[in-house]
Homo-oligomer: A and B are copies of this chain.
Amino acid sequence: MVRQGNIDNPPKTPLVPGFECCGIVESVAENTQGFEIGDRVMAFLNYNAWAEVVCTPVDFVYKMPDDMTFTEAAAFSLNFVAAYMMLFEVASLREEMSVLVHSAGGAVGQAVAQLCSTVPNVTVFGIASCFKHTSIKDSVTHIFDRNTDYIQEVKKICPDGVDIVLDCLCGENTGKSLSLLKPLGTYILYGASNMVTGETKSFFSFAKSWWQVEKVNPIKLYEENKVIAGFSLLNLLFKQGGCNLVKSAMDKLLSLYEQKKIRPVVDSLWALEEVKEAMQRIHDRGNIGKLILDVEKSPTPLMANDSTETSEAGEEEEEPEGDNDSKERMPFIH
Contacts from A to B (Cβ < 8 Å): 8, 85, 89-90, 92, 160, 169, 174, 183-184, 186, 189-191, 206, 209-210, 213-232, 235-236, 240-242, 245
Contacts and interface: CB of A to CB of B under 8 A. Distances in A.
B236 A183 contact: yes
A219 B230 contact: yes
A227 B227 contact: yes
Contacts of A214: 218
- Number of copies of this protein chain within its complex: 2
B224 A230 contact: yes
Nearest to A190: B222
Nearest to A233: B225
A240 B92 contact: no
A148 B231 CA distance: 32
Given A215-B216, A242-B184, A245-B184, A189 B230 contact: no
21 contacts: A89-B184, A90-B227, A160-B241, A169-B222, A174-B218, A183-B241, A189-B218, A189-B219, A189-B222, A206-B219, A210-B217, A210-B219, A215-B218, A216-B217, A216-B218, A221-B228, A222-B231, A224-B235, A225-B230, A225-B231, A228-B228
A240 to B, nearest CB: 4
A215 B219 CA distance: 9
Contact of A225 (B183, B186, B235): B235
Given A236-B183, A242-B225, A230 B213 contact: no
